[in-house]
Amino acid sequence: MQLTDFDTLTFDVYGTLIDWESGMVAGLQPLLERTELSLSRDQVLEAHARHESSQQRYTPHLQYRWLLAVVYKRLAEEWGVTVTHDECLAYGDFVKQWPAFADSAAALGYLKQHYKLVVLSNVDNESFAYSQRKLEVEFDAVYTAEDIGSYKPSPRNFDYLLEKLGQRGIDKTRILHTAESLFHDHQPANRHGLANCWIYRRHDQQGFGATMDPGEMPRIDFRFDSMAALADAHRELVGQA
């Protein structure tokens, strides 16, 4: 199996292209400054992952920015901080300010010359519009949790992806699902028979950060520690190094 065996890259965005962990920690500063607890960065991210995953299961209909408002409320309760509804909403709106990883835009610009680029993301459409500007590329299709009515790792999201791409004549054997999260993306990609590419952004850190522990390790077809490394591997393969 080689990168040139595919003509479509389907992307997770947050954690893969957008640095959501830095964005989360920045957005949670009002809570962290008021709690009496001493929390490490990873403890903050793991607590966020726990509440976010739970909320996505219980309220799959909620748009992501509103779901994050509930997560903020749950974290405030857990950390002993009193917050207002407006503060919760402000955290949900902070997704628009989450930064892109430094290599994302350039790598996507290169890959766009060789692949169709498709988004499959646990986000709402309004928030994604702000993220897309940071990524500086036009995607060939964008499928969000708001569009689908559920959140990854629900199989519905991947069913929707494959149905919509199939209607455009894109066979799943030509799709390479590209993502950071083992829990949200690689396990369901395995179950749907998709080849996958792990962008292991946390390769130099312990644990799973803002994603849940996947338990059993999924099959990985390709692994790169950054989007830049993926683009470089493709350049080398096609003789553009």
- DSSP of 216-227, one letter per residue? SPPP-SEEESSH
**Distant-in-sequence contacts of 27-31, Cβ < 8 A, 24+ apart:** 27/91, 27/94, 27/97, 27/98, 28/72, 28/75, 28/91, 30/83, 30/87, 31/72, 31/75, 31/76, 31/79, 31/81, 31/83
Q: Are 226 and 199 in contact (CB under 8 A)?
A: yes
12 classed as catalytic:
yes
Catalytic pick among 5, 7, 12, 147: 12
Torsion sign across C-alpha atoms 51, 53, 58, 59: positive
How many DSSP H helices and E strands does the chain contain? 11, 6
Active site residues: 12
